A and B are shown apart, each in its own frame.
Chain A
Amino acid sequence: MSALARETPAPQGEPTEAARAGGPGTLSVVGALLRKELLVELRTLESVPGMSLFAVTTFVVFHFALNRSSVEGDLAAGILWVTLLFAGILGINRLFVADADQGGFDGFLLAPVDRSAMLIAKALTLLAYLVVLELVAVPAFALLLLGPPLGPALPELLVTLALGDLGVAVIGTLVAALAVRTRARDLLGPLLALPLLVPIVIGGARATSPLLALTHPQGPAARWLLTMGLYDLVFGLIAYALFDFLLED
């Protein structure tokens, strides 16, 4: 037997491994994993409060470091997206820690389930963290730093944030799954995530900049939204293709 011998995957169009093994459906497993993730976070409060506090503190630091009471346009968009990115990295770093430290991976791998359920559940968990983070960070940003009123820009800003969050959730889950099994997981996670997330930040900042202009605010440039959407899709497919291998021995 070769050291590279692997499990035979279900061929295209054939029943999934879970179905072949008589296991529960993917949606049911995603539900169970998501419920567990949220329960653990509610009990420990290890991720979301830290992410939110980091974002608010960063805005305060920018407020004093720039020595300006208000920002707009490119600068405002840049500050918002970079702060959200770094706050998101904190959540990415914690995403699989409980599973790695408490045997959750083994418990999951012993079950006759479709392994992509974990990718979906973890990405949804990270997405939920990011949404809560933004519920705190965006109003704090408007209060502490933003010059123009947030209200008129809000609907389009939400669309831009949603596209950014999707990308961060998918890429973050992929990177966290890779990093958590290494000894240098706290270092490797951000080192791998940051370069992959740069296009999301560029797209997000460029799309947000016209929304936050002081004079003649405009809608987000459609090409940047399209770029972000395409990037999300490509990484969604890459994550789906690779995730099984990341969980394997």
Chain B
Amino acid sequence: MAALQVEGLARHYGEREALSDVSLSLAEGQTLVVFGPNGAGKTTLLRVLATLLRPHAGQVRVLGSSLPQQAWAVRGRVGLLGHEPLLYRELTARENLRFHARLHGVAEERVHELLEAVAMSARGGEPLRTLSRGMVQRVAVARAVLHDPALLLLDEPHSNLDPAAIELVAPLIGAGSGRTRVICSHDPTGALAEADVVLGLRAGRPALLRAAGAVDPVEITELYR
């Protein structure tokens, strides 16, 4: 079964078209990598798939449910890691994760397990505002996978992470996590290696949609020109 099925998706902000005529299909367990310059519509696409934005035209099916009509069935099965960590600065890492665990009906043990996994147990009792950006990003990774989502939506997931931290979070959000993933990236070499399908966006329109094996990195570089 296709984890994602998108046909003719369009989304606008007022008069401005953020996405237009986007179609794609992604099988369960596969990784779609989305490339495109700033403002190309990558984040908008992720937010539509996460049920945070309504599609204005086209058909969108996520994990077998139509959006926006069956958004309730998708929530809780999607993990979003965006530019914002979606965490409260005044709360500690542990308190933030506990809060999200209660929103998702997840047991407390999972919080401890994930703090260990992202090597934040020792600093888990400190307010987020006192942590470095890399540490906050590690907590945000833990938040995104707290409820064991079937689909991960990752917007430049490695931003602020050092090489050691990237290795640390790989079992949670990397190819080995076994989850269906949509990744927005500006790193052709790194992200292409993880991709099964590549989507290139330019000004909200698809400029490239192909199996990753058939994509030349030069084509991706061209998207940014």
Contact = CB atoms under 8 A, between A and B. Distances in A.
Interface of A: 1, 3, 5-8, 17-18, 20-24, 28-29, 31-32, 35-36, 39-40, 43-44, 98, 102-104, 106-113, 248-249
Given A36-B95, A104-B86, 7 more contacts: A1-B55, A22-B105, A39-B90, A44-B90, A103-B87, A106-B80, A112-B75
Contact of B103 (A3, A43, A111): A111
Q: Which of A3, A22, A24, A36 has the most CB atoms of chain B within a 10 A radius of its CB? A: A36
Interface stretch (B56-64, B113-121, B175-183): B56-64
Nearest to A43: B90
Interface string B138-178: 00000100000000000000000000000000000000000
A24 B90 CA distance: 25
A98 B88 contact: yes
A6 B76 contact: no
B84 A6 contact: no
Contacts of B84: 102-103, 106
Contacts, number: 114
Contacts of A108: 103
B23 to A, nearest CB: 14
Contact of A43 (B68, B72, B85, B127): B127
Q: At the interface, is chain B mostly helix, strand, loop or mixed? A: loop
B133 interface: no
B43 to A, nearest CB: 12
Interface residues of B, number: 38
Contacts of B90: 39-40, 43-44, 98
Contact of B99 (A23, A36, A98): A36
20 contacts: A5-B55, A5-B68, A5-B69, A17-B72, A21-B76, A23-B105, A24-B102, A29-B102, A31-B102, A32-B103, A36-B99, A40-B88, A43-B90, A103-B82, A103-B84, A103-B85, A103-B87, A106-B86, A110-B78, A112-B75
B89 interface: yes
Nearest to A25: B105
A21 B80 contact: no
B91 interface: yes
A146 to B, nearest CB: 37
A223 B84 CA distance: 50
Contacts of A29: 102-103
Interface of B: 50-59, 68-73, 75-76, 78, 80, 82, 84-91, 95, 99-100, 102-105, 127, 143
Q: Which of A20, A31, A35, A249 has the most CB atoms of chain B within a 10 A radius of its CB? A: A249
B75 A21 contact: yes
Nearest to A107: B86
Contacts of B78: 110
Given A7-B69, A23-B104, A29-B102, A109 B57 contact: no
Nearest to A35: B99
Contacts of B82: 103, 106
Contact of A107 (B68, B71, B100): B100
Given A39-B90, A103-B85, A109 B76 contact: no
A7 B103 contact: no
Contacts of A106: 52, 80, 82, 84, 86
A106 B90 CA distance: 17
Nearest to B55: A1
A110 B78 CA distance: 8
